[in-house]
């Protein structure tokens, strides 16, 4: 069997809150294979976002390892870790995190520009990704001119532009109505299958989570296979 794209081993994370230490993760272990969709479920505050941040190199664990293609992510230098985030990992957030003064195309282009592609190539990638998510007629619209579902599509297109190996999505349907949530989830599943991406989605929506290839429930700081 091939090596997992992501392997988490006994991951722990704690924070100092005044004089107290709060332990959020208490030995999480899980694997994510290439071209696999994995759902993370659990109530608010159990550590889903914290875990995604650690998987994506946005924060450092208190203990344990995150292996990316067999290499300890946190043994890398800061510059090497930043390069990994730019080229291999993409994030999608509940509230889209789009830049309001930029058009849909300009927002989608950003990862390519951060990878130091030319403006022309970044524009080509951005336009292609927006067409792929069904927004080919919205390239010049700013976020305030788009619905919530359309803004999330722009965020998905932006993630695709980086051509990552894994997308980490934090409650990507949490700000959408049920019908739009269904549409966005189906889009995730289609793109994940077509591009053979690894997709890790944190969600409280059990019905949507069951459509992923596998799932984990975060419970008392640990990950338990679900359902």
Report residue 224 as tokens.
């338990």
What DSSP string runs through 32-77?
E-TT-EEEEE--TTSSHHHHHHHHTTSS--SEEEEEETTEEGGGS-
Reading the block at residue 5, the tokens are 């794209």
Per-residue pLDDT of the chain (227 residues; tens, 9 = 90+): 578 999 999 999 998 888 888 899 999 999 999 999 999 999 888 999 999 999 999 999 999 999 999 999 999 999 999 999 999 999 998 888 999 999 999 999 999 999 999 999 999 999 999 999 999 999 999 999 999 999 999 999 999 999 999 999 999 998 899 999 999 999 988 988 899 999 999 998 899 899 999 999 999 999 999 98
Q: pTM for the full model?
A: 0.93
Q: How far apart are CA 126 and CA 213, in angstroms?
A: 28
Name residue 32's beta-bridge partners: 6
Buried b (16+ CB within 10 A) or exposed e, 159-179: bbbbbbbbbbbbbbbebbeee
Half-sphere exposure of 82 (CA within 13 A, CB side): 5
Give the Cα separation of 214 and 8 in Å (integer). Answer: 15
């Amino acid at each position: 069997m091939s090596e997992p794209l992501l392997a988490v081993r006994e991951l722990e994370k704690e924070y100092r809150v005044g004089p107290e230490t709060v332990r959020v993760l208490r030995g999480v272990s899980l694997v994510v294979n290439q071209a696999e969709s994995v759902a993370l479920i659990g109530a608010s505050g159990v550590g889903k976002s914290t875990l995604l941040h650690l998987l994506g190199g946005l924060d450092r664990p208190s203990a344990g390892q995150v292996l990316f293609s067999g290499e300890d992510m946190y043994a890398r230098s800061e510059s090497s870790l930043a390069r990994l985030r730019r080229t291999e990992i993409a994030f999608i957030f509940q509230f889209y995190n789009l830049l309001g003064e930029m058009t849909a195309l300009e927002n989608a282009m950003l990862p390519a520009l951060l990878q130091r592609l030319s403006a022309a190539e970044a524009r080509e990638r951005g336009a292609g990704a927006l067409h792929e998510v069904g927004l080919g007629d919205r390239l010049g619209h700013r976020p305030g001119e788009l619905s919530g579902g359309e803004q999330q599509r722009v965020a998905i297109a932006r993630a695709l532009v980086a051509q990552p190996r894994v997308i980490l999505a934090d409650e990507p349907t949490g700000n959408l109505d049920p019908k739009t949530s269904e549409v966005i989830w189906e889009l995730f599943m289609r793109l994940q299958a077509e591009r053979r991406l690894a997709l890790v989605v944190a969600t409280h929506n059990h019905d949507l989570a069951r459509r992923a290839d596998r799932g984990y429930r975060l419970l008392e700081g640990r990950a338990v296979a679900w359902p």
